[in-house]
Amino acid sequence: MGDHAAKAVLFDALTEGAKALANGRRAELIDVLAQGERSVEELAAEIDQSVANTSHHLQRLLRSGLVKARRSGTRIYYALASETVADLWRAMRAVAEEHVSGLDRLARDYLGDRDSLERMTRDELVKRLRAGDVVVLDVRPAAEFAAGHLPGAISLPVDQLRERLAEVGGGAEVVAYCRGPYCVYADDAVRLLTSEGRAAYRLEDGFPEWAMAGLPIER
């Protein structure tokens, strides 16, 4: 029989990644890094934290092996260590959705009422892309679009959408997508487009789920 003390050390090590993610700001960082590599400064802006606090969280994720880092000049860039890290984050979300009471209310408080928003599944969007009768908007920050996006998507960050609305030309239906099921950018884009009389849909989840499904992406 194996030594129980050795088993305890093993099981402690097996939970290291989960312990590192047991913090909302670090989970936010993983959610952003699932879109692609970002600098510390960009990540700090995305999670509304100081660069010092963001660096502290990133160092914790780095020690746990969940992210990797590289230096370019005076800047340090971080990325997920592997796609398995994104899988872990998706699994944590799924468990929370099934077992954490009040999560629907918390999501509604942040995302607003989604009942009035039209949604499109990945399968339906694949068909519409083949038919060429839909405009796809990537409303994430430009750096995330550059790291990878849906085929033929137009980069139109949500904070620029109102002033660049004329670029969404023609009468075709519009599908907006962003980071995933808890990303508000696509919701905001669909609400704005709908208020302007455009037929608009939100992709059911986001770019990481599209890529994970083995669907084509462009860089």
177 contacts 206 by C-beta, under 8 angstroms: yes
Q: 178 catalytic, yes or no?
A: yes
Sheet holding 75-80, edge to edge: 38-39, 75-80, 67-72
For the record, the structure tokens of 137 come out as 């908007």
Question: Which of 151, 215, 157, 166 has the alpha carbon at shortest distance from 189?
Answer: 157
Residues in the chain: 219
**Active-site choice (66, 178, 203, 211):** 178
133 contacts 214 by C-beta, under 8 angstroms: no
Active-site residue set? 178
